[in-house]
Structure 1
Amino acid sequence: MNNQLNNIPEKYRNFIQLSDISTRYRKFSKGQYIEYTQFNEFLDFFEDQDRLSRVMLQGVGIVCGFKPELTYSNKKLNSIKLSQGVAVTTDGDLLTLNNTSKVSEELYVSDLKTISIDSKEYTHFKKYDNFKVNYPAFYDENGGQIELWELATVQEATSDFQPVANFSNLEDQYLILYLESYEKEVKPCRGVDCDNHGIQQIRNLKVLVTNEQGADYILQKDRIQPHPLFIEDILGSVKQERVILERLIQEKGIETRFSYADLKNMYADVLERNGYGELVFRKIYEISKMFGLPVADHLTFKSVLEECLNLPFGFQYAYDVVKDLTATYSEIIKLLPKTFTKCLPDFASFPKHMMLGKLNSETQLDSSRHQFYNSPVLDDEKAMHKVKILISRFNLQIQNFKYPNRHIEVIGSDIPIEAESAIKITPSQKSEFLGNKAIPFYYRITDNFLKVWDFNKVRTPAFRNNVGYNSGLFSQESYVRKPLGFNIDRAPFYNIEGHQGMHYQDAFDQIKKIRDEQQLGFDIMLLSFKELLKNKDLSKAYFNEYIDKYSGLEHKHGVAKGGTFIMVYDHIGRDEVIVADFSLPYICCTPKLKINLSLPNTTICAKAEKIPFTVFPFNGIVTANVDSDLDGGVELVDGLYFFNPASVSQELHNQLISFNVNGKPTDCTVTVITEPQVRIVVEKVDIPESDSTATVVKFKITGEHFMNYQYSWDFLDNGSQVIQNPDSKGFVTHTFNNLSPRKIPNIKVKVIGGGCEQDVSLENWYEENPIIIKGIVFEKGGDCCEGRVPK
C-alpha cells in the first residue's frame, strides 16, 4: 500500500481520494457537540473503506458494457449509441450511465438519477474545457490541454452544442468516460442559519472524445493498461519444423552411403532456419518485460546448442530443448488472456477516467480500451501466477540444459566425451502441457527447477514427486524412484534415455531387458548405416532400406505404447555406438509374434456389461480402429483389457468396430447395437370363409434396423414362444386355427438383439366383420308377424 501512495505523482494527489486515507473515526456520545471535522472524519473513513474494497478486493477497469455503436442516416453519422455498463476507476469510483429521474425541488439538493437504462444516444458535441478541474491526465508537459470534445444527448444538449454530423472523422476518434469531480461552495454561512452551508461534492459523468495523439498521451501515463496481449502478433503460434528422415533418400537416393553427420546436419539445418528458437525468445522477452521479469540470453543459449551439435551423438537433444521451450511458450500464450490481474493497482493510472477505445475499432482487443483488472482474490485459475512460473521455467530450461556426453575415444578429436552410464525407461504422457510429462534427462535437476516444472505442484511439497531420469534427486517415494513398478495406465509414452553413445548391442540388450522385466508394450529395432550382408537378425536392418520402406519415423526421445523404438548406430572411433533414436507409432518388422484377439460376442447391446478381451501376447496393447475424437470402448482395468459398450460413442452404434494389438490389425470385430425401438401393428386380418377355420393375420414391423433383431412370438398368450422374423419389407404372417371372436388372445412379442430386448404387446387387435343383411324373403302369403320363418 505504501508503494502505491509513494508512487502517486504530486499533481495527482488532489484528485485522488485514496491518496490520503482515513484510518479511524470517533463514535459520538449522547449530548456531544460534534465538530464538522469529526463528522467528516466519520464519512471519510467509510468512504475510503468502500473505495479500497472495490479497488483491492474486486478490481479496476471496465467490468462490462460501454460499447459504442455508430448510427448513420443517409450515409451521414447521426449519433453515437453507448450501451450501459459498469466500470471502476483506480480511485474506487463506480461508473455507470444514468438519466435524471427526479429533479430536486430544493435549491442545494442534487437531482435523483436512475441507472435502469439500456443505452444512451449521443447526438451533439462541443469543445470541452476542463478549467473547473484541471485533471492532470488531460494536460501535456507544457500545461496545454489535449484535444477534447464533450458528447451530449438531445435532452442534454444546450445551444453551444452542434450535431455530431458536423464532426469530421469522428469514426477515427477515441472515447473516454470521465468523472468530472470538484468541490463547490454552495452558500456562505451568515448569522445562525447554517443549515445549507457546506461544500458540495460535484460528480458529473462526461462522455468525451479525443484524437489519436490525445489517447496516446493519456495511455502513456497509465501504469496498468500496458499488457502483453496488446503486443502485435504476441499470440501467434510458433511451430518447430519437423525433421523428416525420408528426405535423405528422396534427395540423395537410396544408394547413397549415409553417416551420423548427415543426420546431424538435418537437425542443425532445421535449428538454423528456426534461428535456434530466436522468435520464441523475442516473444518471451516482450511478455517478461511487461511483468518485470528477466529472460535468459539467447546468444549464450545458441552457443550451447552449437556445442551440442558438434558432438557425434546427442545432437537430437538440441532440437528437443528448443521444442520444449516452444511448448512452454504455447502454455504461456494460452494463459495470457486470463492474466488481467493486479494485486495493487496504481491509483494514478485512471483515477477519474476510463478509456473506452476507438470509436470504430476493427480489432477484437483494443489497446486503447481499459480491460477489467481483477483482484487476485477473484483469480480462481491463478493465471498471472502460472504465467510467471512458466517464464521462470523457460529461463531454467535454458540455464539447466546439459547435452549428454559419454567417454569415447574419438580419433583425431579433442572433444571430451563423458556421461551417464545407465539406461532408464520412464513412463510419461503425451500431454500438450510440458509439466505433465516426465523430466527429460538433458536437464540438470535442482530444487528450483523442480519447483517450476509443474506449476500445479509449485505450492506443495509434491514438487519432488515429478518423475524423470535423475530420480535419485526427486522424492524418496517408491512410485517416483521406480515408476514402472506402479500403475502406468495414464502414461501412454516411455522416455528412453541414457543409450546414446553406448555400444549398440549393449544398448539393445539393456532396453530389451527392462522392457521384458517390466512387461512394456513396445518393440525395438537397430538400424545400421553400413549395409548388412546376410543379416539374419530380424531386430537389425539397413538404414537406407528401412527408411525407404517404412514412413513416419520421428525422434521423441522415447516411444509410445504399441510403437517401435528405433536406434541408429555408426562407427565412432573404434566402436559402433548409438548416434540417434527414432520411433514409429506401430510395431514394425522385428521377429513376428503371433497376434490374436477375441471377444465372447460379435454383437452387443449398448447397455450391456463390459466383456473381457482375450489378448495374445498377454502384454499386448489393444486399441480400437476409430477416429481419435471417438470412444471405441476399450478399457484397461488392473492390467486386463475389456470392451465396455456403454462407453462407445453413439456415432459408432450399429457399425462394425475393429481392433489392433500392438498396432497390428486383428480379425476381432464387434457391433454395438441400441435397444430395439420397433413398432408392430396388425396390417390385415383375413376372416375364414365357408368351411375354413383359418384366420390369417398379417403383421407389419417398422423401426430402425428392425432386420437386425430376432422376434419371439407368443401368439396365444400361453407362454409358448415361436421364432418368426420379418421379411425384408417387415411383414410377418401367422395363421390362427379355430380362433373364437369371443376370446381373442393378447399377442406378445419379445424383440432380441445382442443382449438388448424390447417387449411388445398387441391387445384388442381383432375386429370381427359385421354381418350385413341385405333383405328377408318370407313364404307366400306370410309376414314376420305370423311366426313364419323366412327363407
Structure 2
Amino acid sequence: MNNQSNNQYRKLDEVSTQYRKFSKGQYIEHTQFNEFLDFFEDHDRLSRIMLQGVGIVCGLKPNLIYKNGLLSNMQLSQGAAVTTDGDLLTLKDAGKAGEDLYVSDLRTIDLQNKDYTHFKKYDDFKAQYPAFKKDDGSQIELWELIPVQEAGSGTQPIGNLPDPEDKYLLLYLESYEKEVKPCRGVDCDNHGVQQIRNLKILAATKSGIDHILEKDRIRPHALFVKDILEAEKQERVIIERLLLEQGAEAQFDTSHLKDLYLRAMEKSGYGASVFKKINTISQFIGLPAVDHVEFTSLLKQVLQQNTGFQYAYDVLKDLSDTCSEIIRVLPKSFTIGFPDLESFPKHVMLGKLGSDIQLDKYRHRFYNSPVLDDDKETLQVKVLLNRFAQQVQNFKYPELQEGEGIKITPSRKSGPLGRKAIPFYYQITPEFLKVWNFSKAARRLSGENLAYDTSLLSSAGHIQNPVGFNIDKNTFYNIEGHQGMSRDEAYGQLKELRDRHQLGFDIMLLSFGELRDNKDLFKAYFNEYVGKHPGLEHKRGVGRGGTFVMIYEHNGRETGIIADFSIPYICCTPKIDAGLSLPASVICAEAAPIPFTVLPVGGMVKAVVDSEKTGVVLIDGKYFFDPRELDESLHGQLIAFTVNGKPTGCTIKVTAQPDIEVKVDYVFYPEGNSSATTVVMLVSGENFKNYTYHWDFLDNGSFVTLSPDDEGRLKYTLYDVNPARIPTIKVKIEGSGCTQEVSVRDWYKELTQLSLPVAEICSDSEAIPFNVSPAGGIVEASAGGGVKFENGKYTFNPKLIDKSLHGQLITFTVNGQATNCSIKVMTKPQVKIDVTKVDYPGNGSSSTTVHFLVSEPGFKNYSYSWDFLENGNFTTIPPDGDGNLIYTLTNLDKTGIPVIKVKVSNGNCIQEIIIGNTWYNPPAAPSVVINSIGFPSGNCCEGTVQNKVSAFVESDERTIYLSANELFELKGWASGANDFDYSWFQTYSNNDEKLSLSESNKPTVVVSNLSAGIYEFQFMAIDIATGAFDTKRVKVSIVR
C-alpha cells in the first residue's frame, strides 16, 4: 500500500498485491478505491525499476553560462531518469492548455532545455526527505535553482550563488500529502487528500552530497577509481640489448638472459600495479583480494632455476592481459538485478557543476535491468576476476616427468587471452577451466579449451590432438615441454612433430659458446645470430611462417635447452659454399677477437697480406680474427682471406683507436628565475674533427649526436639541474668502426643560497620552510633554536624562539657560509579587554558612555584599532597608562546594539577581540503584577476564581555565536494549572529574517537557519481548562 505511516516519501515500502472489482450499485469506501489505485501504481513503478532499470536514462546535463565574466544562468538539458522508488523524472514547463484554462498542474515536456537564473535557500520542511537529514535531525545545506518566470521576492540572481563550480546538482521530487481542512456539510466530493509532486533542481555542497551518498548502495563502482582504466602492459624483453650493453664480442651465459627478465619484472614490481588494480575492482564487486606477496615469492623461486625463468615473465604478461580484458569490459558493467530501493528513492544526482569529467562519480548512470543485457558484462567482469585469481593460484612450473615430452598446441597470435590455448605452466583444474574462456563457459563448453595437459579436457579428437585437424584459424603454435631437455633430444622431438604434422615453421639452435663441430646448418653462434636477427622475442612458441629458436648452454658434457625465442620469418641459413664470414667488416685495433664462420668445417684460414702478423689466430681449434695481432702498417687497408687456399668474399678493415680529450671549459650557472645551466665543452686531439660524437649530458643512457666547432667547443644547456645529483657527462667518439668512451665528472660547482618566504613572522605562527641551495646544505641560525631539520627539509619555527629575542634580527648560514637571509619574530599580543562600566542615557540625553579596561603585561607596546558600531570602520585609540579607555556612542538603537571589535597589533601579529552586545544591559523598568481580579455581581464569571497562570523561560536574553552553533534551543515551562497548551513564535527581527522553529506547540523548540541579527521570541502557556494564560519574551542576539 502507499499510505505508509512511517515512510510516506517512499511508495514501494509496502506493495499492494490485490484489489477489488466493483459490482453494480455497490457502495465503495475510500479504502477500497485507494486499494485499486495503489495496486496499479505500485506495479507500474515495479515494472520500471525491475524490467528497465534506475538512474539517468539520457540528457539532464548541466551547463553553466557566463556573460561578461559573470554567471548568468544554469542551463539543464531535457532528459529522463528513474528513481529507485519508480518515479519517472523529466523537465516540465507550464503548457499552453494550462495557461489558457488557468490550470496550474498541466505541464508540457516538449522542451530541449531549461534555464535556471535565480536561486534561494531550500528548506524541505514539507516532505522531510530522510536523505537530506543529518544524524542530529537538521537538514544539509541546499539551494533551489529557479527559472526566471518563477523567480519571486525571496530569490537571488544565480550569479550570487557562492562558489557555483563547487556545487553538486540534484534532481529532487518533493513528495508529500497536502493537508486539508476537515469536511463540513453534506458535500465532501472535492475534499480528497492532494498528492503533491514538485520537481526541484537543488544544489548541494561537497559535504552534503557525500552525506546523501552514504545510503546509496547502487552508485559505488570501480569505474570511478582514479586511473582504473589506464592500460597495464608488461615491458618487453629485447635480447639485442645484451649486445648493445656489453658488446658483440662479449661472452654470455644463462645468467645474462635471466638478468634481462629479472630487470623487466623488478621494474614493474612483479606486477604490483596490476594486483592493486585487480584488488580494488574485486573489493567493489565483493570478491576476495589476491595475495601479491606470496605470488612474488613464487616468481622469485622460479627465477632461481636454470630453466623456466622465462615463464615467470610469461605469467606476469598473462595477468596484465587479463587485467586489460577486465578494464575493457568494466565501463559496461552497470547491470543491477534488484536495485536497492533506499539508494535514491526521490532524487537523482546530476554531477558537479562546471565539471567536464566524463566519468563523474557524483552523477548517477543508468543501472539497467538484467532483462536488457542478461547481466553479461557484469558477469564477465566477475569471471575475469576469478580467472586472475586462478592464474595466480595455479601457476606452477612443472618438472619434466617420465613419458611427457614436447607438445605443439595451436593457439592465436593476438586477441583476448581466453581465446588462446592454456599455457602449460598452469595447473588445470575444473575451476580453472570454468573461468579461462567466458564464452565457452557460458555455453558449458569449458572442456573444449586447448592446452598442454588434456586430462580434464573433452575426449574429442580435435581437443586431444588439435594439430591433426583444421587449424586455419590458429596462426600460432604453443611449443612447450622442451626447456630442460638436452639439445639433441629437444631438436629431434620438435622436428619430428613439425614434419609429421606438416607445420609451417623452422627450427634453430643457438649456443652461448663456440661451435667446435658445426657440421649442421641448424646450429649457430648466439652473438652472431642475434646481431643478424634483432627481432628475436620470447613468445612461448612461434607464429606460422616463423622460426623457433632454442638456446642451449654447455654444462660439462650436457647441452641443455635453457630458453626459447622466435622470429616472424623463416631464417636464411648459410649455404654450403659460403666459404668464410666474419660478424663485422670493420673492426677497431683494440677490439677483442671475433670468430670466423668456416665452410667446410676444419678448413684452413689465411689472410692475404705480406706480413707475419696477419691477425688470424687459432684458439681451441677455432679460427678468430684478432686486430691486435695485425701489423700496424696494415691499419686502414682492406684485408682479404682464403680457405684452403681458395679466395673468399670475406674482407675486413682495421681502424686506429681514437685518442681524444674532452673536458668542461666553462659553466654558465642559473641566474634570477632561470633554471638553465649551460656547459661549454672543449674537445681536442689529433684529427678530432674527423670523428662522430654522441653525448649523454643527463647520464640517463640517452645520447644525442653533436659536433664541436672548428675550435673544438660545443655548448649544451641543461634545465633544473639538482646540485645533489650532478650527472656525469658521457661521450662516445666513433670513427671508422672504432669507439672511444670518455666520462667527465665533478664539473658543477655548487652555489650557496638561502631564503625564507617572509622577513617577519608572528611568534605563534607555524613553521615555514627554507629554500636551501645546495640541496643537503646545513642551515644554522645566529641566535635562538628555531631551525629544525625534519623529513629531509629545514624549517624555521618561531614558537621555539625565546621571548627575549623577539624583535631582533636573526640571520642564518649554509654550510658555515653567511647568507643574506634573515627574519624577525614578533610577539603575539595576548591582552584582555573588559567593559567595566556603562553610563546609559538619562535626563533627555542620547549618549551612552562605555568604560574599557585593557590588561595583561606588555599591553602598552601594542596599537589598538576599535570598531564601536560594527560597521567595519576601525579607529586607532590607545588606552592610557593604566589601561583605561572611555568612548561615547550616541543615538544607539536598543534593538540593534553593536558588537564591539578590537584589533590589537604588534607589527604583523594581530589579536582580534570581540565584545558581544551583551555589554549593553540597562536597568529594567518596574513592573506591576496583578494577583487577582474580582468580578461584579451578575457577571458570567461570578463565584469563579481563576487560577493564576505563570510562564517561565530558561533565559530572557541570550547571545549565540554563529562560528560555534548552527542551531539553538528555546526552553519554557508554566505553573498554576494541570494541563497547558504551549506556543513559541518569533515577534521581531532587525533584519527581516524569519528563523525556522522545529515545532511551535512544544515547551522546547529548536531554532535553525540562523542569520546574524537581533531577534525576539514570545512563549505563551494557556490553561486548557480555564483559558487563563501568561507570556514571556526572549531576546536573542546572533553574532558572527
Output the TM-score relative to the length of structure 2. Answer: 0.54
Determine the structure 2 residue equivalent to 1:564: 547
Aligned-pair identity in percent equals 61
Q: Which moved more, 1:186-195 or 1:205-214?
A: 186-195
Determine the structure 1 residue equivalent to 2:215: 221
- Write out aligned runs for 1:377-396 (5 A): 377-379=371-373, 382-396=376-390
Does the residue aligned with 2:455 lie in a helix, a strand or coil? helix
Is the CA contact (8 Å cut-off) linking 1:494 and 1:560 kept in structure 2? yes
- Write out aligned runs for 1:203-282 (5 A): 203-282=197-276
Structure 1 residue 526 corresponds to structure 2 residue 509: yes
- How many Å separate the matches in 1 of 2:232 and 2:489? 39
Is the CA contact (8 Å cut-off) linking 2:8 and 2:176 kept in structure 1? no
- How many Å separate the matches in 1 of 2:427 and 2:571? 34
Residue 462 (structure 1) aligned to one of 445, 461, 482: 445
- How many Å separate the matches in 2 of 1:144 and 1:247? 67
1:344–1:574 Cα change, 3 Å: farther
Determine the structure 2 residue equivalent to 1:587: 570
Determine the structure 2 residue equivalent to 1:188: 182
Residue 349 (structure 2) aligned to one of 352, 355, 372: 355
Deviation at 1:86, TM superposition (A): 0.2
Determine the structure 2 residue equivalent to 1:430: 413
Is the CA contact (8 Å cut-off) linking 2:56 and 2:364 kept in structure 1? yes
Q: Which amino acid aligns with 2:534?
A: S
The count of residues paired between Structure 1 and Structure 2 equals 573
Does the residue aligned with 1:458 lie in a helix, a strand or coil? helix
Deviation at 1:541, TM superposition (A): 0.8
- Write out aligned runs for 1:402-441 (5 A): 402-406=396-400, 421-441=404-424
Deviation at 1:571, TM superposition (A): 3.4
1:74–1:324 Cα change, 3 Å: same
Residue 476 (structure 2) aligned to one of 480, 493, 499: 493
Q: Which amino acid aligns with 2:329?
A: L
Is the CA contact (8 Å cut-off) linking 1:179 and 1:352 kept in structure 2? yes
Deviation at 1:17, TM superposition (A): 1.1
Does the residue aligned with 1:155 lie in a helix, a strand or coil? helix
Deviation at 1:171, TM superposition (A): 2.3
Deviation at 1:105, TM superposition (A): 9.8
Residue 369 (structure 1) aligned to one of 363, 367, 371: 363
Determine the structure 1 residue equivalent to 2:68: 74
Is the CA contact (8 Å cut-off) linking 2:94 and 2:104 kept in structure 1? no
Q: Which amino acid aligns with 1:517?
A: R
Is the CA contact (8 Å cut-off) linking 2:335 and 2:375 kept in structure 1? no
Is the CA contact (8 Å cut-off) linking 1:238 and 1:326 kept in structure 2? yes
Does the residue aligned with 1:190 lie in a helix, a strand or coil? coil
Residue 450 (structure 1) aligned to one of 409, 433, 452: 433
Once the two structures are superposed, residues 67-124 of structure 1 have per-residue CA deviations (whole angstroms, 9 ceiling, x without a partner) of 11122222111111111110000111000000122449999x8621111111111111
- How many Å separate the matches in 2 of 1:380 and 1:298? 33
Deviation at 1:170, TM superposition (A): 1.3
Determine the structure 1 residue equivalent to 2:531: 548
Is the CA contact (8 Å cut-off) linking 2:82 and 2:89 kept in structure 1? yes
Once the two structures are superposed, residues 501-540 of structure 1 have per-residue CA deviations (whole angstroms, 9 ceiling, x without a partner) of 1111111111101101111000000111111135121100
- How many Å separate the matches in 1 of 2:316 and 2:555? 26
Determine the structure 2 residue equivalent to 1:65: 59
- How many Å separate the matches in 2 of 1:51 and 1:104? 30
- Write out aligned runs for 1:700-739 (5 A): none
Deviation at 1:56, TM superposition (A): 0.9
1:20–1:326 Cα change, 3 Å: same
Once the two structures are superposed, residues 278-299 of structure 1 have per-residue CA deviations (whole angstroms, 9 ceiling, x without a partner) of 1000001111111111132111
Where does the alignment leave 5 or more consecutive residues of structure 2 unmatched?
Answer: 577-1040
- Write out aligned runs for 1:670-709 (5 A): none
Determine the structure 2 residue equivalent to 1:135: 129
Once the two structures are superposed, residues 480-513 of structure 1 have per-residue CA deviations (whole angstroms, 9 ceiling, x without a partner) of 1111111111101000001011111111111101
- How many Å separate the matches in 1 of 2:207 and 2:250? 64
- How many Å separate the matches in 2 of 1:474 and 1:154? 70
Is the CA contact (8 Å cut-off) linking 1:240 and 1:326 kept in structure 2? yes
Is the CA contact (8 Å cut-off) linking 2:513 and 2:554 kept in structure 1? no
Does the residue aligned with 2:300 lie in a helix, a strand or coil? helix
Does the residue aligned with 2:392 lie in a helix, a strand or coil? helix
Deviation at 1:168, TM superposition (A): 2.9
1:233–1:78 Cα change, 3 Å: same
1:13–1:280 Cα change, 3 Å: farther
Determine the structure 2 residue equivalent to 1:727: none
Does the residue aligned with 2:564 lie in a helix, a strand or coil? strand
- How many Å separate the matches in 2 of 1:574 and 1:436? 42
Determine the structure 2 residue equivalent to 1:511: 494
Residue 299 (structure 1) aligned to one of 264, 288, 293: 293
Q: Which amino acid aligns with 1:508?
A: Y
Q: Which amino acid aligns with 2:496?
A: K
Output the TM-score relative to the length of structure 1. Answer: 0.70
Q: Which amino acid aligns with 2:570?
A: I
Determine the structure 1 residue equivalent to 2:983: none
Q: Which amino acid aligns with 2:207?
A: Q
Q: Which amino acid aligns with 1:217?
A: H
Does the residue aligned with 2:445 lie in a helix, a strand or coil? helix
Determine the structure 2 residue equivalent to 1:473: 456
Deviation at 1:257, TM superposition (A): 1.9
Once the two structures are superposed, residues 706-761 of structure 1 have per-residue CA deviations (whole angstroms, 9 ceiling, x without a partner) of xxxxxxxxxxxxxxxxxxxxxxxxxxxxxxxxxxxxxxxxxxxxxxxxxxxxxxxx
- Write out aligned runs for 1:123-202 (5 A): 123-202=117-196
Once the two structures are superposed, residues 256-305 of structure 1 have per-residue CA deviations (whole angstroms, 9 ceiling, x without a partner) of 22111211121112111111111000001111111111132111111111
Deviation at 1:460, TM superposition (A): 2.2
Q: Cα RMSD between the aligned structures?
A: 2.0
Deviation at 1:186, TM superposition (A): 3.3
- Write out aligned runs for 1:762-773 (5 A): none
Q: Which amino acid aligns with 1:352?
A: K
Once the two structures are superposed, residues 389-413 of structure 1 have per-residue CA deviations (whole angstroms, 9 ceiling, x without a partner) of 100100001111111323xxxxxxx
Deviation at 1:53, TM superposition (A): 0.9
Determine the structure 1 residue equivalent to 2:791: none
Deviation at 1:172, TM superposition (A): 2.2
1:592–1:481 Cα change, 3 Å: farther
Does the residue aligned with 1:471 lie in a helix, a strand or coil? coil
- How many Å separate the matches in 1 of 2:174 and 2:311? 61
Determine the structure 1 residue equivalent to 2:283: 289
Is the CA contact (8 Å cut-off) linking 1:176 and 1:209 kept in structure 2? yes
Deviation at 1:573, TM superposition (A): 6.8
1:431–1:31 Cα change, 3 Å: farther
- How many Å separate the matches in 2 of 1:23 and 1:431? 55
Q: Which amino acid aligns with 1:387?
A: V
Residue 332 (structure 2) aligned to one of 333, 338, 355: 338
Does the residue aligned with 1:475 lie in a helix, a strand or coil? coil
Deviation at 1:473, TM superposition (A): 1.9
Does the residue aligned with 1:472 lie in a helix, a strand or coil? coil
Determine the structure 1 residue equivalent to 2:904: none
Does the residue aligned with 1:276 lie in a helix, a strand or coil? coil
- Write out aligned runs for 1:631-646 (5 A): none
- How many Å separate the matches in 2 of 1:381 and 1:494? 35
Residue 45 (structure 2) aligned to one of 40, 47, 51: 51
Does the residue aligned with 1:324 lie in a helix, a strand or coil? helix
- How many Å separate the matches in 2 of 1:143 and 1:137? 11
- How many Å separate the matches in 1 of 2:235 and 2:5? 54
Is the CA contact (8 Å cut-off) linking 1:429 and 1:491 kept in structure 2? yes
- How many Å separate the matches in 1 of 2:527 and 2:222? 48
Determine the structure 2 residue equivalent to 1:677: none
Does the residue aligned with 2:41 lie in a helix, a strand or coil? helix
Indicate the structure whose relative CO is greater, using CA pairs within 8 Å and at least 6 residues apart.
1
